[in-house]
Amino acid sequence: MGLRAGCFGEHVKMNREQKTRVVEELKSQFSSAGATFFVDYTGVSVNQFQSLRKNLRENDAELKVAKVNLMDIAASDMETDGWKDLSFSGQLGVVFANGDVSAVAKTIVEFYKENNVLEIRAGLFESRVMNSGEVVALALLPSRQVLLGMLAGVLNAPIARLARVLNEVPSGLARSLRAVADKSGAEDK
């Protein structure tokens, strides 16, 4: 029988039915997640792990721990370039990002910077395997909300200019009429 790694070295024997359930759950999460990140959590304390999980939940992400061979079985059906080239060992956690992928990557990178533990191994995003450097680069991107705000500003700029130009037409007409009125008033005196 295999072992299922719980949090931080707690091992529980699993029967075939339990392994099948874990594999099916992982398959479901691999297919539904916007991105997946693989992290080695060796050296992470229980409190740090709970803190990381809480921060990830706030960004609509979930951190799971399962045996590497069960993850391999779950991911074997995925059509992802480079998946078969990856080899994992150690205490591997999987972060499933369901919301803003950049914010989730940023949470993982910030956790690493604050605690100097948690090695980023790889990521899966848009059917492509990413190395740890690419995950860090993804974390540097602005969040989805910031990008949408920037897009709204870009789209709004031409409309705002058009409104100013259209507003200038009546204003210019009013100034011209006032100048004519002032000129004719000055001539009448």
| Greatest C-alpha distance within the chain | 110
- SS3 call for 116: coil
For 73-117, how does the pLDDT look when each residue is reduced to its tens digit (9 = 90+)?
887 777 666 666 677 777 888 999 998 899 999 999 999 999 888
CA dihedral 168, 173, 179, 180 (to 10 degrees): 170
Mean pLDDT computed over 30-36: 87
Is residue 67 classed as helix, strand or coil in its secondary structure?
coil
- Counted residue by residue, the chain has a size of 189
Residue 178 has pLDDT above 50, yes or no: yes
Q: pLDDT tens-digit profile of 120-147?
A: 888 888 878 888 898 988 888 877 777 7
pLDDT at 171 over 80: no
Contact 83, 121 (CB under 8 A): no
